[in-house]
Structure 1
Amino acid sequence: MTDRPLFLYDGDCAFCSSCAQFLTRRIPNTADVVAWQHTDLDGLPVTQDDCENAVQWVDGGRATAGPRAIADLLRTSTGVWKLAGHALAFPPIELLARPVYRVIANNRDKLPGGTPTCALPQAERDKLA
């Protein structure tokens, strides 16, 4: 395991990969932004099912998912991004963000950059490879 926090995303999903590229290019942060498929999940407090369900933030032995993971990542940044992370972690805002996140996650194959593969569970993707 690395000393830096990990932000794990779905590397088989073009939409998720585009978002991860945006994170690494435009938002300074202290995390390693990595596709979960390229990460040894053994020893991390997340499972493959967790990673298939939502983005994950892993910092030491602690993990968060979905909007909370995004908030945790943003809070390691600076300026407006750090402020956005604190706002997203604010309970009323996070409560509103959860269903929005779920709608986006469930429809990522239809979003710009998404492909039909984005909608498939990992077991189905493996069959295509």
Structure 2
Amino acid sequence: MRTQSVLVYDGDCAFCTTCVNFAERRLRPRCESTPWQFADLAALGVTQQRAEYEVLWVTPAGRVHGGAQGVAKLLLSAGKGWAVLGALLTVPPVRWVARGVYRLVADHRDRMPGGTPACALPAHLRPSAESPATAD
């Protein structure tokens, strides 16, 4: 059984990777961060489809929080003033607004700072994905 929460993100997306790197350096959340492309998704209890759709926070007990609520859990784990912001993101109506803002950013992450055109492509069409002609 895991003893620490896991933050699962899209490692092929430059914007997502930049955000996670920032969080690790500045917020110092109490979690392990891993791109979904290298995670044992089945062991975490999530599907690839969900991991492609949103950032995920998986607790040691296996509870999965996605999207804005995953970000809220990350902020809560960081403590200090970040925890206040994280708590705020869990309370309606802020929670509802956060969900919409998260989806807007996620759907346009290729246009965000650090984003690349590859961020807008489905995972199987990204440059890092193997083409069927080169797969073993």
Same fold (TM over 0.5): yes
Alignment match, 1:119: 120
Tell me how far apart the structure 2 counterparts of residues 86 and 57 of structure 1 sit (CA, whole Å): 15
State the AA in 2 paired with 1:34: T
State the AA in 1 paired with 2:117: P
Count of residues in correspondence between the two structures: 129
Tell me how far apart the structure 1 counterparts of residues 62 and 2 of structure 2 sit (CA, whole Å): 12
Alignment match, 1:108: 109
After superposing on structure 2, the runs of 4+ consecutive aligned residues of structure 1 that deviate more than 6 Å are: none
Give the gaps of 5 or more residues in structure 1. none
User: RMSD between aligned alpha carbons?
Assistant: 1.5
Alignment match, 1:21: 21
Give per-residue Cα distances to partners, 1:19-62, cap 9 Å, x unaligned. Answer: 00001000022111211111111221211000110000101221
TM-score calculated relative to the size of structure 1: 0.94
Map 1:1-129 onto structure 2 (within 5 A): 2-59=2-59, 60-125=61-126, 126-127=129-130
TM-score calculated relative to the size of structure 2: 0.89
| Greater radius of gyration (CA) | 2
Give the gaps of 5 or more residues in structure 2. none
Tell me how far apart the structure 1 counterparts of residues 103 and 130 of structure 2 sit (CA, whole Å): 25
Identity value in percent: 42
State the AA in 1 paired with 2:18: S
Deviation of 1:99 (Å): 1.1
Deviation of 1:127 (Å): 4.3
More displaced 10-residue stretch of structure 1: 71-80 or 13-22: 71-80
Tell me how far apart the structure 1 counterparts of residues 29 and 115 of structure 2 sit (CA, whole Å): 25
